[in-house]
Structure 1
Amino acid sequence: MAASLEEVMISYEELSDLEHEFDEVETEIIRQQYALSKSLYVKRAELAAKIPNFWPLVFEQAPMDIDEYIQPSDSALLLSSLKSISVSRFELDEDEKNGDPRSMAIRFEFAENDHFEDKVLEKKFWWRQSKDGFAGLVSEPIDIKWKKGKDLTDGLLSLVKAVYDEQVAKPKVETKDKKAKVQLTEKQKALKNKIDSTGMGGVSFFAWFGYIGEYVTAEESKEAIAEEKEERRKRKAGEEVAKKEDEDDEMDEDDEDDEDDEDDDLDIFPTGDAVAMAIADDLWPGALKYFIQAQEQDMMSELDFETDDEDEDEDEEMEDGAPQPKKKHKGCAHGCAH
């Protein structure tokens, strides 16, 4: 039988502190890797710019974490108009020593297309920590200048941007009455009705630009990190750390769940942070691998075509016997033509 933490005199706080140390090491690895590989990515960008359809082909081979959100209409736009993708750790670019390496900016460059006027769409993600224990990527919604009748998100992006701007202008005020029902504003109601009527199944990949996540300001994050750092320092020094009141730690769980549900109801792309990490940690660094994979797949398709043609010729020459089954072609992931 496994020993309890009380029996071995180890606290959850000690385990949490150790886990935090692992996180610090991983964060430092990102910092060093970014500095060492920065010039290589510049060189790769120069080479990729000389290769026709480099990034469309890379995106065509996107891993499942990204590909599952790409609808046929998204694919057609990306494959015909995407010029380049880049990922930067903008906080490191601003302050190499103190910037958080986990914050990132993902930049898409497009050629002229039938859907929107923007030539560049850049979405920033900040690594933030809140006083209630949340730690992760947060973002601001980016609106797109859609051409008339060409909005692939069917108005969702514009609505979530309006709701976010409203929230920033008038932040939510905490009340003592935890059970008080928060009333939706008119803009929030419009967004919720749009989500309910549209349904989130099959939503456009471009709705990803509307991801927000938790609403955590830079000021709150700075304070939360400082408080946690001080608590860990005290524990390490053997000093007593004041515990929060039980009622603060356990706030009515039902009410908390209700608040989470309300936030989720207004989220047009709940997994936006996961997609951002898949782009930054997989698609972006593995672009050469995915491009070569696309080339090999194209070659296999051509070989299958030639084999099928030969089989058909042989079948025509055969007077007797059943025709041989044709081989299946493995076409492009999104039905493109090379």
Structure 2
Amino acid sequence: MAAALEEAQVSYEELSDLEQEFDDVETEIIRQQYALSKPLYARRAELVAKIPNFWPLVLEQAPMDIDEYIQPSDSAILLSSLKSLSVSRFELDEDEKNGDPRSIAIRFEFAENEHFEDTVLEKKFWWRQSKDGYAGLVSEPVPIKWKPGKDLTEGLLDLAKAVYDEQVAQPKQDKKDKKAKVPLTEKQKALKEKMDQTGMGGVSFFAWFGYIGEYISAEESKQAIEEEREERRKRKAGEPVPKKDDEDEEMEDDDDDDELEEDLDIFPTGDAVAMAIADDLWPGALKYFIQAQEQDGASELDFETDEEDEEDDEEDEEAASRPQKKHKGSKN
């Protein structure tokens, strides 16, 4: 690929900058769409609030990207206790012009249930960018006040929160000082052991509230975005852009850190599930509700048909068991 670019006299940086401009346009579209659709979602919320079990029925029809993570025990709570679900672009709500529209908050409202005391569980996802070039959704663990013996995550969520708090409290180590791997703390060991015992196939959907992603602070993200914009500006103006020192070494160190963070994330695909809720389930809620109604109607029709068939079979059996009357003119 490098040879092809050299022959075409097009640099990788030029292609990367153009791709970033496409991303900027898509981000601006999200910003405008949110402003235009916000009053419509408010009207929808008023209407669906009058429909019993609207959101449980919607969630029952959830696309595979979400449904595959919902265990039977999770489904029992979601279908019996979920009162409302909503998605907001909370940074835009705080600052319409400067907020990042890719940051989302997903809010679940519950009726009283036997598993936890919370009536509201809200998880925020911030769109952040690191200095090594990574960009995506990051979050913080959201604790759940489980009732005694009712923790569907079996302690995973609590351990994830404890490890996260421990990580945040530690001063960030300079990349140049990372010559040797730092041993796991006692809390990290406990979390890793619990994850190994559980296995990802049996993790409750409520472990999703423990998703973290990468540890990227708001300050680091802001600085990384500003530096990238400045580099793009210089390249566009034909100004020289100095290469960063020890870039390869820093990338190698970051890879080691990323491995550790991924190993200790109790729901590694949490960002994908968040996007599936925000971009599919939330805007398509009416569609999924109608599907649920149609499916329910089809089930009732099948039930009625089965009942009619059974009645017909019973009538045929009764007719066959009754003695037949002889017609006039018949022979004995």
Pairwise same-fold verdict (TM > 0.5): yes
Q: Distance in 2 between matches of 1:80 and 1:209?
A: 19
Distance 1:40 1:226, change over 3 A: same
- Do structure 1's residue 230 and structure 2's residue 230 form an aligned pair? yes
1:285 is paired with a residue whose SS is coil
Unaligned stretches of 5+ residues in structure 2: 318-332
1:196 Cα deviation after fit? 1.2
Q: Distance in 1 between matches of 2:206 and 2:189?
A: 22
Aligned partner of 2:247 in structure 1 is: 248
Q: Distance in 2 between matches of 1:111 and 1:287?
A: 20
1:173 Cα deviation after fit? 1.1
Q: Distance in 2 between matches of 1:143 and 1:91?
A: 22
Q: Deviations over 1:282-312 (max 9, x none)?
A: 1111111111110000000011111112222
Aligned partner of 2:301 in structure 1 is: 303
1:97 Cα deviation after fit? 0.5
Distance 1:100 1:175, change over 3 A: closer
Q: Deviations over 1:212-260 (max 9, x none)?
A: 0000000000000000000000010011111123x4235574x655433
2:5 is paired with a residue whose SS is coil
TM-score, length of structure 2 as denominator length = 0.91
Q: Deviations over 1:127-178 (max 9, x none)?
A: 0000011100000100000000000000111111111111111134135354
1:24 Cα deviation after fit? 0.7
What do you get for the CA RMSD once the two structures are aligned? 1.8
Aligned partner of 2:184 in structure 1 is: 184
1:1-338 matched pairs, under 5 angstroms: 4-245=4-245, 247-251=246-250, 253=252, 257-318=255-316
Q: Distance in 1 between matches of 2:82 and 2:282?
A: 14
Q: How many residues align?
A: 317
1:7 is paired with a residue whose SS is helix
Structure 1 counterpart of 2:27, one-letter code: T
1:315 Cα deviation after fit? 3.4
More helix by share: 2
Whether the 8 Å CA contact 2:142–2:210 is kept in 1: the answer is yes
Q: Distance in 2 between matches of 1:296 and 1:115?
A: 31
1:116 Cα deviation after fit? 0.3
Unaligned stretches of 5+ residues in structure 1: 320-338
Q: Distance in 2 between matches of 1:109 and 1:51?
A: 15
